[in-house]
């Protein structure tokens, strides 16, 4: 009976997502094979001699694939991987009862398509979502891990209510924290490492041209220290942030909820930060490179995460939107101070600045921190946040 039900629903969203993703991956792979180099989209032609000049016009490029991984006989391997993704998607249509094995194959080999562009990135995303939903079939897609992940990023308030009440969602929240931090750490590290190759005085025109114009990607073993560090500290920092939000939301505002529920909501609120993984696909010309990596994406994803926190805490604590905003700002500021005092100092970074600054941690590639110096400026910043929280009713009991 179960098999019959699944066969009757096999042309639903799960199959279509994985199929479309696998087709995009295969097309991207074939284009790379034909061109013998990554597929590169740029804002215009660029001269290798002046693309980094201070007076050069703004220029950007997106590389779907990385040169150095797609030449020669290695392409046979990438084509095989792409075919496996497509074959697994089609097999789900024929034998949906093997969903767990097929879903796992789709996820694994979709990730392995990244060196050839991951199906213009969109194919990678669709295939992974389809494979993940296939693995959890016949659960409704809205309640699968990737379904909840997407709904959380979409600011769907209902998903936070569902997550908070689901006892099994705690494992998903922890997995989300580790996964998001690993992906963002890897993206930042690769981008930062390659930007360093471009902008340092000792860098040659040849290396800059290979990275900016031809989509080559440089890396070494130190680069992988960042995602491992991010993932290793992720659960500890999540517990600290959850504890701060619990103390403010429950003990200060008088709301009624459990620590575990807040932890699950915060875990899924991290979803937008995973987009930082795609940083190495995009490069721009000077002076935009001088910021070490595109701060626009950094701010967008973190502001997006703040919005997901506001929506999630509103549902979890059952408070008005304004009070949830105040709790998020007050708790986020307290968490930032704890992060500066514990984790930044532990990484051995000293800051000597008289204003707000954004800086990379020298010991770990790609780690960016927001610093406010001197102490008087920190106190002023905290006073503004507290006043803002008072106006939003954080300190008033219901």
Place of tokens 């007050």: 330
Mean pLDDT of 266-289: 83
Give the number of other CB atoms < 10 A from CB of residue 192. Answer: 21
Kindly calculate the radius of gyration of the chain based on its CA atoms and give it in whole angstroms: 23
Residue pLDDT, tens place only, 17-60: 999 999 999 999 999 888 888 888 887 666 656 666 666 677 77
Helix axes 295-317, 259-269, angle to 10 degrees: 150
The pLDDT score that the predictor gives to residue 347 is 55
Token pair belonging to 158:
């209902």
Q: Is residue 108 part of a domain?
A: no
Task: Identify the three-state secondary structure at position 216.
Answer: strand
The pLDDT score that the predictor gives to residue 94 is 83
Q: Is residue 256 part of a domain?
A: yes
Q: Which residues contact 344 (CB under 8 A, 6 or more apart)?
A: 361, 369, 371
Range list of H helices, the chain: 2-8, 13-35, 74-94, 99-111, 122-135, 145-153, 157-165, 169-199, 205-212, 225-246, 259-269, 295-317, 321-339, 345-346, 375-391
The pLDDT score that the predictor gives to residue 152 is 92
DSSP-assigned beta bridge partners for residue 358:
370
Place of tokens 């959380």: 152
More confident residue, 369 or 248: 248
Q: Is residue 247 part of a domain?
A: yes
CB-count exposure of residue 302 (10 Å: 0-12, 13-18, 19+): middle
Instruction: Give the model's confidence band at 359: pLDDT under 50 very low, under 70 low, under 90 confident, else very high.
Output: very low
Q: Is residue 26 part of a domain?
A: no
More confident residue, 340 or 300: 300
| pTM, two decimal places | 0.82
Would you say residue 366 has pLDDT above 60?
Answer: no
Give the number of other CB atoms < 10 A from CB of residue 383. Answer: 10
* Residue 213: φ, ψ to 5°: -90, -35
Q: Is residue 19 part of a domain?
A: no
Instruction: Give the model's confidence band at 351: pLDDT under 50 very low, under 70 low, under 90 confident, else very high.
Output: very low
The pLDDT score that the predictor gives to residue 53 is 66
Would you say residue 292 has pLDDT above 70?
Answer: no
Q: Is residue 248 part of a domain?
A: yes
More confident residue, 78 or 341: 78
Instruction: Give the model's confidence band at 287: pLDDT under 50 very low, under 70 low, under 90 confident, else very high.
Output: low
Would you say residue 2 has pLDDT above 50?
Answer: no
Residues of the domain holding 269 = 37-70+140-391
The pLDDT score that the predictor gives to residue 128 is 93
The pLDDT score that the predictor gives to residue 61 is 82
Instruction: Give the model's confidence band at 66: pLDDT under 50 very low, under 70 low, under 90 confident, else very high.
Output: confident
The pLDDT score that the predictor gives to residue 179 is 92
Annotate 357-384 with DSSP letters as a single string.
EEEE-TTSTT-EEEEE-SHHHHHHHHHH
Would you say residue 279 has pLDDT above 90?
Answer: no
Would you say residue 6 has pLDDT above 90?
Answer: no
Annotate 296-324 with DSSP letters as a single string.
HHHHHHHHHHHHHHHHHHHHHHT--HHHH
The pLDDT score that the predictor gives to residue 349 is 43
CB contact at 8 A, 32 and 215: no
Residue pLDDT, tens place only, 158-195: 999 899 888 888 999 999 999 999 998 888 888 888 88
Q: Which of 2-16, 33-47, 119-133, 325-339 has the highest mean pLDDT?
A: 119-133
Token pair belonging to 20:
């479309």
Q: Is the peptide bond before 138 cis (omega within 30 degrees of 0)?
A: yes
Q: Is residue 312 part of a domain?
A: yes
CB contact at 8 A, 300 and 191: no
* Residue 64: φ, ψ to 5°: -90, 85
Mean pLDDT of 106-115: 92
More confident residue, 333 or 394: 333
The pLDDT score that the predictor gives to residue 361 is 46
The pLDDT score that the predictor gives to residue 205 is 59
Would you say residue 375 has pLDDT above 80?
Answer: no
CB-count exposure of residue 359 (10 Å: 0-12, 13-18, 19+): middle
| CA 160 – CA 264 distance, rounded (Å) | 8
The pLDDT score that the predictor gives to residue 89 is 92
Q: How many domains does the chain have?
A: 1
Q: Is residue 5 part of a domain?
A: no
- Residue 370 CA to chain centroid, in angstroms? 18
Give the residue from 377, 359, 378 showing the smallest Cα distance to 369.
Answer: 359
Asked which of 78-92, 170-184, 339-353 is least confident by mean pLDDT, the reply is 339-353
Mean pLDDT of the chain: 80
The pLDDT score that the predictor gives to residue 111 is 92
Residue pLDDT, tens place only, 135-166: 888 888 888 899 899 999 999 989 998 998 88
More confident residue, 207 or 179: 179
The total number of residues shown for the chain amounts to 398
Annotate 126-182 with DSSP letters as a single string.
HHHHHHHHHHTTTS-GGGSHHHHHHHHHTT-HHHHHHHHH-TTHHHHHHHHHHHHHH
Instruction: Give the model's confidence band at 62: pLDDT under 50 very low, under 70 low, under 90 confident, else very high.
Output: confident
């Amino acid at each position: 009976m179960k098999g019959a039900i699944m066969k009757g629903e096999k042309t639903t969203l799960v199959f279509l997502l994985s199929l479309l993703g696998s087709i995009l991956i295969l097309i991207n792979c074939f284009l790379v094979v034909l061109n013998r180099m990554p597929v590169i989209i740029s804002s215009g032609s660029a001269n290798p001699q002046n693309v980094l000049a201070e007076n050069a016009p703004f220029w950007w490029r997106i590389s779907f694939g990385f040169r150095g991984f797609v030449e020669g006989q290695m392409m046979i391997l990438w084509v095989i991987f792409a075919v496996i993704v497509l074959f697994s998607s089609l097999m789900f249509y024929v034998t949906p009862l093997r969903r767990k094995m097929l879903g796992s194959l789709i996820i694994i080999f979709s990730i392995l398509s990244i060196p050839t562009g991951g199906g213009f990135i969109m194919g990678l995303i669709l295939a992974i979502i389809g494979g993940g939903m296939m693995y959890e079939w016949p659960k409704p897609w809205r309640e699968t891990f990737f379904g909840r992940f997407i709904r959380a990023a979409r600011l769907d308030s209902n998903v936070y209510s569902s997550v908070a009440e689901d006892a099994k969602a705690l494992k998903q929240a922890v997995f989300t924290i580790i996964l998001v931090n690993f992906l963002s750490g890897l993206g930042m590290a690769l981008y930062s490492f390659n930007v360093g190759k471009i902008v340092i005085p000792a860098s040659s025109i040849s290396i800059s041209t290979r990275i900016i114009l031809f989509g080559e990607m440089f890396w070494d073993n130190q680069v992988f220290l960042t995602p491992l560090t991010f993932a290793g500290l992720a659960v500890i920092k999540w517990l600290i942030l959850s504890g701060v939000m619990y103390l403010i939301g429950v003990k200060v505002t008088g709301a009624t909820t459990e620590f575990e529920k807040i932890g699950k909501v915060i875990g899924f609120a991290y979803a937008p930060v995973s987009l930082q993984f795609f940083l190495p696909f995009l490069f721009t010309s000077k002076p935009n490179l001088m910021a070490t990596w595109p701060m626009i994406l950094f701010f967008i994803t973190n502001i997006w995460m703040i919005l997901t926190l506001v929506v999630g805490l509103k549902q979890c604590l059952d408070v008005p939107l304004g009070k949830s905003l105040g709790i998020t700002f007050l708790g986020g500021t307290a968490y930032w101070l704890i992060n500066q005092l514990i984790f930044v100092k532990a990484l051995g970074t000293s800051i000597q600045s008289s204003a707000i600054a954004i800086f990379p941690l020298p010991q770990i590639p790609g780690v960016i921190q927001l610093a406010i110096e001197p102490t008087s400026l920190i106190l002023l910043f905290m006073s503004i946040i507290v006043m803002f929280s008072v106006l939003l009713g954080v300190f008033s009991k219901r």
